[in-house]
């Protein structure tokens, strides 16, 4: 129980910094490393180069609701794109409890989807500084081109118009 309380305190206390977005279309996505729930190391964006890739970044547990709406929208519209959930958690304490946090996520996510969830701890602050963490419950939706450059960015929560704009970028 004490470990859970410490984890919750650390997670709540990690969102103390308020960063505006610095994303510009055409920018290269910053290099970050993480680990999939399968336990594989992943280097973003290098491991995704060669095909368009959709990143759904979340900074708080509550952003999962927004990410789920995006994933449902993609599925319902039969949008074909490699999509990855990227929980990005800043701070020393979450890194210390990363095994506990990852195991908690594994309990709520079907095993066949673990490859598509890449948790970023060490570079979590870097990603938050780049994409902004204002309105932290909103996912950061980023479409990368095959070279790892940003061709679409949205951070205002799920909207059908935003999904349609994303789809139009994929159809080009």
What letter would DSSP give residue 107? H
Task: Judge contact between 143 and 171, C-beta under 8 A.
Answer: no
C-alpha dihedral (31, 6, 65, 90), degrees to nearest 10: -20
Residue 119's φ and ψ, nearest 5 degrees, are -90, 130
**pLDDT given for residue 90 in this prediction:** 59
Task: Judge contact between 34 and 44, C-beta under 8 A.
Answer: yes
**pLDDT given for residue 149 in this prediction:** 97
pLDDT tens, residue order, the chain (172 aa):
334 434 444 444 444 588 999 999 999 999 999 988 888 999 999 999 999 999 999 988 889 899 999 999 999 999 999 999 998 875 444 444 445 555 555 465 656 766 788 989 889 899 999 999 999 999 999 999 999 999 999 999 999 999 999 999 998 7
**pLDDT given for residue 16 in this prediction:** 58
Task: Judge contact between 66 and 158, C-beta under 8 A.
Answer: yes
**pLDDT given for residue 36 in this prediction:** 86
Regarding beta strands 32-36 and 118-119, do their DSSP bridges make them parallel or antiparallel, or are they unpaired?
A: antiparallel
**pLDDT given for residue 8 in this prediction:** 43
Q: Is-above-0.95 flag for pTM?
A: no
């Amino acid at each position: 129980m004490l470990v859970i309380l410490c984890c919750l305190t650390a997670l709540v206390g990690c969102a103390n910094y308020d960063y505006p977005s610095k994303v510009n279309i055409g920018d290269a996505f910053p290099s970050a490393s993480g680990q999939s729930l399968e336990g594989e190391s992943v280097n973003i964006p290098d491991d995704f180069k060669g095909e368009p890739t959709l990143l759904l970044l979340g900074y708080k547990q509550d952003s999962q609701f927004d990410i789920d709406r995006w994933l449902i929208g993609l599925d319902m519209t039969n949008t074909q794109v490699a999509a990855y959930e990227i929980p990005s958690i800043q701070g020393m304490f979450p890194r210390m409890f990363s095994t506990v946090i990852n195991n908690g996520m594994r309990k709520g996510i079907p095993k066949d989807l673990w490859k598509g969830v890449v948790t970023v701890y060490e570079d979590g602050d870097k990603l938050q500084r780049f994409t902004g963490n204002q309105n932290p419950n909103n996912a950061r939706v980023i479409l990368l081109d095959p070279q790892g450059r940003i061709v679409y960015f949205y951070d205002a929560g799920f909207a059908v118009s935003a999904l349609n704009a994303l789809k139009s970028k994929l159809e080009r």
